[in-house]
Amino acid sequence: MRHRWLFLGACGWVLLILGFVTKIISHRAVDEYDGRHGGQSSTVPGRTARKFPLPTAEKTVSLQPDQSSAAPTMDEWDSVVERRLQLLSTVCKNSTLRNLTHIPISKFVLDRIFVCDKHNILFCQTPKVGNTQWKKVLITLNGAFSGVEEIPENLVHDHEKNGLPRLSSLTPQEITHRLRSYFKFFIVRDPFERLISAFSDKFVKNPRFEPWYRHDIAPAIIRKYRRRQRDGERAASGLHFEDFVRYLGDVEGRRRLDRQFGGHIIHWMTYAELCAPCDIPYDVIGHHETLEQDAGYILKRAGIEHLVSYPDIPPGITCYNKSKIEHYFSGMSKRDIRRLYARFQGDFDLFGYQKPYFLLN
């Protein structure tokens, strides 16, 4: 009898270890998906670390179909995309939001749009929404690699060597022709979840590869927006998410800092500022929350599904995680959160994301 209990106990330990190993592998898959230097972190500097529950299937996008149903057909997803574009058009016509939605098609916007002349495709880059994977798709289409899995990670973000020209590199006539005739798309994500991803990636996990975020940008934000700062604490505690939110919500005060930070601010600029969706007639706007459906749909609409596949998407990575948002914003003043929402309201409205009442009220 004793041997039997020892055997059962040993089996229990084996199952526990296997579960732990599986969880580690899953987290690594998420890190590889989210970009060059890893995915989202569950730790906020200056706060006690807390583990988040696995993402649930809770919906945040009003234009998102029922995920429990069978895989949608092209005709069914056509109607989803059309509703998204109709909402975009309606919000763009709203004069009260014009300053949040209408952005001139400047060189800055054209710098965000990558060109694939071989297949008549334009892709606008919206950082922290899985853009690394779409760059791999376009690089593969250019013919240098036979598949997305063969592309070195360091090449994807080397814009001088990856063979992806930007729309800004062309003549005005060439730009106009492509904007009128090419297949154009970009991807969006819940605006607050995207900000959390940007903060985690740039200020928590990336000092080795992009040290300027921690060594230059973070101290400048802390000096201007850290409250109740004790002497000597500033450098040791690092940038808090509260500091980041105050900076983003300060419409007038952050402009001087933004000029100082230069192009690095693209990771937390609005979708409107990045891609000018009210002034460029995009064919498809994909949602990170429905990326499994949108990726295949975009490949088919662009006529390239037989040439390239979108990289595998780790299970659960695209699900909206309300628990994570609540944790990051916990203890923060409603005034700061409302100012942040006012800054990103255009993105919420343009793309059908629900107003985060659970944070604002």
Task: Report d(CA 292, CA 310) in Å as an integer.
Answer: 9
DSSP one-letter string for 94-163: -GGGHHHH-----HHHHHTEEEETTTTEEEE--TTSSHHHHHHHHHHHTTS-SSGGGS-HHHHT-TTTS-
Is 297 within a domain?
yes
CA distance linking residue 332 with residue 334, whole number of Å = 6
Distance of alpha carbon 59 from its chain centroid, rounded? 17
Of 315, 297, 359, which is closest to residue 334 (Cα–Cα)? 359
Q: Quick check: is 67 in a domain?
A: no
Assigned domain for 37 exists = no
Q: Could you list the residue range(s) of the whole structural domain that residue 331 is in?
A: 72-267+274-352
- pLDDT value, residue 47: 39
Give the per-residue pLDDT at 28.
Answer: 38
User: Residue 187 in 3-state DSSP?
Assistant: strand
d(CA 189, CA 128): 9
Q: Report yes or no on 10 lying in a domain.
A: no
Note whether residue 48 is domain-resident. no
Amino acid making up residue 361: N
* 210 within a domain of the structure (yes/no): yes
Q: Report pLDDT for 32.
A: 36
Number of domains in the chain: 1
Each residue's pLDDT, cut to its tens digit, for the chain (361 residues) gives 444 444 445 545 444 444 443 443 344 343 334 444 333 333 333 333 333 232 333 344 445 554 445 678 888 999 999 999 999 999 999 989 898 999 989 999 999 999 999 999 999 999 999 899 999 999 999 888 888 999 988 888 888 888 899 999 999 999 999 999 999 999 999 999 999 999 999 999 876 678 899 999 999 999 999 986 554 454 456 899 999 999 999 988 898 999 999 999 999 999 999 999 999 999 999 999 999 999 999 999 999 999 999 998 888 889 999 999 999 999 999 999 999 999 999 999 999 999 999 999 8
H or E element that contains 284: strand 284-287
Whether residue 202 lies inside any domain: the answer is yes
| Residue reference for tokens 């969880």 | 23
Q: Tell me the β-bridge partners of 114.
A: 123, 166
Give the pLDDT confidence score for residue 323 in this predicted structure.
95
In a domain, 196, yes or no: yes
For 185, phi then psi, to 5°, come to: -155, 160
228: left (phi over 0), alpha (psi -120 to 50) or beta: left
In terms of DSSP bridges, do strands 121-124 and 183-188 run parallel, antiparallel, or are they unpaired? parallel
Report the pLDDT value the prediction gives residue 344, as an integer from 0 to 100: 97
CA-CA distance, 295 to 301, in Å (whole number)? 10
